[in-house]
Amino acid sequence: MTLRFGILGAAAITPRALLKPVAEFPDVEIVSMAARDRDRAETFAARAGIPTVHDTYDEVVTDPDVDAIYNPLAISGHREWTIKALNAGKHVLCEKPFAMNEAEAREMADCARETGLVCAEAFHYYYHPHSMRMREIVRSGILGTICYADAHFQNTVVDVPSQIRYRIELGGGATMDLGCYPLHFLRHVFEAEPEVVSAKAATVHEHIDLELKAELLFPGNIPAKIWSRMNAAGGFSAEVNVYGDRGRLKVVNPMVPHREVHRIELVTSWGTRRETLTRTPTFNYQLRAFMDAIAGVRPMPTDAEDGVISMRVIDNVYRAAGMKPRGEI
């Protein structure tokens, strides 16, 4: 049976996140889309080979030929259109971060539970063998008793009027766009939700965090730090480090191992071991996981309930930094 997608918007992430992966799966197709600008939607659809362009998002989510919705809208559009899609009987793959805040995420998760449909947050990195290997090493016990961990993600995000990551009403900020990843890395490495001990942010435009650092405490009294930065000059950098009393794990680029240099480095008393894994895109693995969840093969770990936890931790990080969660400003 073919899985038929409808797309909301013409987001820049869509070709990488969905169009290219779909091309690798003969049992998946994209059948319709809509964008705020009809001309832009027509251009996007023509380039992507999408047969139907609707005038509104409502027409996409109610399209009888659509089985699942991909929602890469600005964060402020995640709750509304994910819930509308679920209520229309469509599965949803929603971009990260899941919602503006925990309260919105809770509504989305409740709707997913009530409808019995698959609703997942698109943390594509999670499904790649590189990420799976990172978690496997930590859980194996080879590092001994875990003493400390840190993770970061920075990327070039230029402050221009068209950049939604600098607009508070759309859910902008470094923690929302970038910091959600290191928080997610560590949450799933330790399989636990951390306490937010402290946080400090450097802001622009009053409420937009250009950079944010946070100190966390995981169960077992394991301290950790995360930081994220929208740096116009700094370029891309993502890393996870986990320190135990018998070894250290360094993971370079758990984010997009198919696009940039990636490496897993394990240091123990037996020496140093370095690994690199497949260059198959993370998004391909995510699409397969989404398909498997719909088919009832296995649930997606980055489901709506996991999204609620993600947003709760992000809300707590903002509060610790003396800021309000998005949607409360």
Residue labelled with tokens 């296995």: 298
pLDDT score at 329: 84
Q: Are 9 and 73 in contact (CB under 8 A)?
A: yes
Confidence at residue 126, expressed as pLDDT on a 0 to 100 scale:
98
- Per DSSP, 75 falls in state G
3-state helix, strand, coil in the chain (%, to 5): 35, 30, 35
Q: Which of 199, 200, 220 is nearest to 149 (CA)?
A: 220
Residue bearing tokens 């698109």: 122
Pairing of β 237-244 and β 68-71: unpaired
What pLDDT band is residue 234 in, cutting at 50, 70 and 90? confident
How many of the other CB atoms lie within 10 Å of CB of 234? 13
Averaged pLDDT, 182-197: 98
Please say whether the beta carbons of 71 and 81 come within 8 A.
yes
For 14-66, the pLDDT digits (tens) are 999 999 999 999 999 999 999 999 999 999 999 999 999 999 999 999 999 99
Tokens of 105: 């995420």
Q: Identify the pLDDT of residue 269.
A: 94
Q: What pLDDT does 163 receive?
A: 93
What's the rounded Cα separation, in Å, for the pair 65 and 38?
Answer: 20
- Tell me the torsion sign for CA atoms 235, 24, 10, 105: negative
pLDDT at position 185 over 80: yes
Q: Is the pLDDT of residue 206 over 90?
A: no
Q: In sequence order, what are the beta bridge partners of 250?
A: 241, 265
Average pLDDT over residues 262-270: 96
Other Cβ atoms less than 10 A from the Cβ of 29: the count is: 17
Work out whether the CA dihedral 81, 194, 255, 227 comes out positive or negative.
Answer: positive
User: What secondary structure does DSSP assign to 82-151, as a single string?
Assistant: HHHHHHTT-EEEEPSS-SSSHHHHHHHHHHHHHHT--EEE--GGGGSHHHHHHHHHHHHTTT-SEEEEEE
Q: What is the pLDDT of residue 71?
A: 98
Please tell me what DSSP assigns to residue 64.
Answer: T
What is the reported pLDDT for 91?
A: 98
